[in-house]
Structure 1
Amino acid sequence: MQPSVEAGWPESLQPLYAQVAEAVPQEAVAASAGWRDTFAHWVRGASLEERTRAQAAAWERLSPGERTPGEVLFLVSTCSELLWPYAEPPPGLLRQLLARQRDAVAALRDAGEAEVADRLQKETDAALSTVLTRYLKRHPDALLALVRGVPCTFDGRALRFQDAVDVDLKQVLGAGPKSVGLLEQLRALLPDTREEGRDRLAEFIRTRAARVPWREASEVLGERLFALATSPDGRGGMRGFLACYPNGRKEPDWCSRAGLLLARTVEVGGPPAVVENLCDLLTLFDSPPVDGLRGALGALVQSDFEAAADLGHARFVLDHCLGTMRKNEPALALALLWLEERLFRAAVRRGVPEAFERRTRARAKLESFPGFAHLVWLAEECAEVWPRFRSPARPGLDGLVAWRGEVAQRMGKKPVLRKAAIEFLLWCAPDEASSEAELAALALVRTATDRRLVRRMLEHPSPKARFRARSLQSWLQAGAGQGTTPAPVEPSEPATLTASLRHLHATRAVPVGGRTWLRDRDLEDLLVGAVGRVEADVASRHPERFREETSELVAGLLEGVRSELERIQADLGSLLAQGGRASPLSLAMTVQRAPTVPRDGGVEVAFVVSVEREGFVRTRRVVRVPVAKLEQRGEGQWLPTLRLGRERLDALLTRTEAAFCLFLVPAFVRAECWVVPARLARALMETQGALSGVPREAAQGVSRPLAQWLVYDVLGLWVGDERPDVVDAARAGDTGADFVVDLIVR
């Protein structure tokens, strides 16, 4: 029975393949030359669709299964024309071609055609090399799939598979980033390469990788590296990867990404193997400007051990860092002691039995560092003090000043301790304690060496440490604490008038005056920022608190402003005292609340401003501010009107023109409270025909944020009534305000 011809072959090729399938070995040898001529004629006239169908049919017939000797001989001898890389390469192509080649050669030898078999072996070796080279040029990422299961070696120029099929790598490698795909395939082929060619292939990969423009290829290579790092069995591949691409050991983005991945994996309790991979990877980043050890520790610096699902990952990272610790890094030792102390406290709260033993072992490994007792003291202090910044039991201002003084006294004795403490404070302090950490670090900057350390911190792996170091560097460049004139700023060429003024301000050549009589833009911005933080918090929480009494909302707002102003006054005084300068402003704020029950007219605040500036002005004035809050009509539906009685405004305006309306609203566009002149609010009500409220959209259009109004208008003395009877009326019984705020500026 004659074998059938599959319908997959093009119709124009089916007659030829029918002859091939019917031939016996002896006839196949004699007819093979004619078959090749007929096939070559078909190739010259075949369309792309016909060739694609022939390729698919040929691969199907090359796959395992029983084939006639004629079929095998035809497929092997014409594979260089049948198998063109139009589509994705079939997996295991080379192994299957070699298997069919062996079948054809064996059939010829069995038929007594040894000479023909040798010639066929040689010709098909060249044909297989051609097929493989074509596929690799078009699909360089498919090398492993094409040659899977076939042993190979490398002679410095070409890959040789089964000592017969050669692929010249210089022919298939693309230029620039295009070569990355094939280089990665070659790197993955290293374990399957014979020992005599493995070193040559690794050297070839390194040499060609060095020619790839790093900026263009780093993104692609980074994705491949982190695919290995996040794979549980990719640890060995990472080391081989960086051995082939040594520039990666200096890539800051890779180091930062590894640190972020490690932090996230520790936080969510990811696979232990991935934690080990990332720790090992960070250890490999040891060439400037990257520092993998700090990257690994940075993964734990901002982590919350109390909320972690499992402390085992944190223990592993700390053990890994202790094992790779450099002896001349006191800052790393201090960070490790602090992290171990935090881990110890979290473990004790969870009842972990070996918590005490672990802390003792960790400290024993670090006790050889100079000033070890002082390092332990600071680690314990920070582990105790810093978490309190997140709780209602925030340390008081006097206590913080005393704490900073003790830190400066203990850690400022020796240069090595100052070096450790400065980096530790700028790197490890939480956001809530950022100001205290910067002040404490600034108190430790005493010599030129310390200032150089602050400059080096601008290249720290932690973005938070770099940001804080910039703040200190800016302060030090202004000449703080040096007793000399400020160091000149490097010359630049500002492009605009504003940039020119800022440049002059930075160089202290011409100070940029403020918008008020304070004549200090930085001081004004500091005050606006302090009030603005409270204002934003009130506006953000208004949807949750609008049902509370207006008096309680106002009390919270005023207390927040008072606390912020007190804090910045203390911080500013402490900071300037270190530079030997006096504070340019003395600002005190007190709030008195009327003991009477709020009147039907609503809540009112009176701001009494007293300014005593020798040689400038002495004044005492009052500003009356009725307060209204925006309420909801339904769930999420805010009323279109701010309830404020017209009679109330009329009565207030008959007493003084220094009257404004304060509206407590949610964060519609920006998180702020609205301030509108009372006379303007009255006009809006008149225009809109409203008797009991101010239209919300109209008020928003003419309003000013509370922070800007309080600093620029009230403290800036642009508003206020100086008549003594009006000032005294703010505290009177019937005509007095519910809250009297005394602002004293000297």
Structure 2
Amino acid sequence: MLADEDATSDEPPTAEDMLVAVIDTLLPDRRPRYRVRRILNLGSSGRVPSFNELEQAVAALAQETADAHVDLNVVLKLLEASKDHRSTGRDEALRAGIVKHVERRWSYFEAALAAYAAQRHLGYSLFEHFPRLADEPLFIARLADELKGTNRQNLWLEDLLSQLAVKTKAQARTLIAAIGGRDERNVATCLFAAIGRGVGWTPWTVLMAILRVRPEYAEPYAAFEIPKLQSDSRLLVSARDEMARAIEGQTKVRALAVMLLELVQHRPGYGETDLLSRPAETRAAYVDSLQELIGDDADLRQAAIEALLWWPSGQAADLAQFAAVALVHADDREFLIELESHPVDLVRYAARAVRAAKFSDLPMATVLPSTNSLVGSLVTLESGTPDTGEFPRTWLGDRNIERLIEHTISRVEAHVASEYDAHGDEGEDRLLATLFRDLSTRFSALDDTLEALARASAAPHRASVSMRYRNVDRPEEGRKGIKGAKSFSADLCLIVDPMLDGISLGRRVTLIQAKRLYRNRRAKVQPTWQTSFALHREQRLALQAQTDSSVYFFLAPPLFGRGVPVIPTQLVADLSEHRGSGTRLRKEVVATASRSLADWLTYDALALRVGDPYDALVEKAEGRPGCLPRRLLELPTVEVQVGITPRSGDR
């Protein structure tokens, strides 16, 4: 029955009049924003309006003049009132009119709807009327805010998540990031069940679920039945079972998760025994194993890359980011661009750095910071020490490249020295050949890292290091040298050919004479080595007559931390002639007067602080094509080419 009309008007009430009257009845404590010309009285407050009254009120919602009266509270009350007519089947028409009004004014209602759905118990009931709300960015943002503050009193979030199907990775990332690293396993389980219903239980979903919620599921013999606790809700148990069923059969993803957990669960501390405490070779083998496990599975590879850039922290992030660079394929560029919109800041930055390193997509900044950058990560992986931010020490102009070269040589010389007890009797020829063969192998492997360094640091040039071998046999060593020397007297010729912008700065030659520590065969305990190095005085004088650029390599067990001590020929002459005959040099003197091979080769030879450009010497060091044997164990001429050329994408 219609309400009594105000006696001041003879005109019949309009639909808008009825809307205001219904609002007054449903929300008696509400002060009207705008009073129309007629006031209808529907009786006592709290009374449920009749169907005819609601029908007229809902009809008014189609008019823009009604907008001033209607906010979210009015919409909720009208929807609630319409339920009273569900038994007659007439509620659908009422709800359709209310929903149509909200859809017409969606930009006005969206924020309030999102907040109500995400922050109220049973707020998900709005999805029945407004299904598009579940996909709106504002709702996802409000839900993320709630997840950030999750606590044991917010159990209703499990109910809300059980009604959702998270449909995109972007939404999933936002919600996973909101939970972060807190121990909220129950809510996280319900969240991943929602992601599984929308995105699907893809390799990405499974991997993230294991790393974030159930790391124990990664193990080959994991138990997938979890005892139900009395406090567990029915929805939680259902979500947990759904997750277990989805993960159990994904054996390859679980195997990948086992490897990634080495980094995700890293906890720094005294006496570390995990992957990060192992040598660089072990960590490189870890990256190779990742690549081998993933193979050509693009979905699994991209999931692994994102996990590596997201979950590891601290020192583990260095190795993780290096591994991500190694995993990226040519067709992953768009994926990295997608990650640059990730909700986690550090993932965005890391993805940008990886793209710069792999595809030369240079960042706007001309130089990346050295500390904790991708450059630092690459160097730390190879050298085992963090970037100190030092200035360059050579003409190469890049401290990171210098550190890589130095550490590469240091590892090789340390290995050679450690094996001296087993191979010291083989002679200078073989020992020297082994040393430079290993250096050549290591420099070849290093070239890819130098390429990544050049790309990641946005350098306009690319530095490369390579070695070529040419034999210099013993007969040639004893034959006449240059400048009237009676013998050439060099065991090895080191030729450095510096290139700048594609132009050679001129080849420089350093002559090397190797001396080894002989065995003391009279000692009862073996191996025991003599206490001094034997020198050939005439040989040393011949070296000095030909060039000022010559050095001695001393081959022995490690001496004061030096694998292969290096001393300039002039200093060898001074020390051996001092109170002596020039034919012996004590190993203690060698240890204190020398520099390590890594230090000398990096900061003298490659830095061009030594080297003779004399044409006759360069020609002598080059040898003659076709006239020398190619056996690696012959004394080689080793040419180290250090080139800085404009970087290009044709490599």
**TM-score, with normalisation over the residues of structure 2?**
0.46
Higher helix share goes to which structure? 1
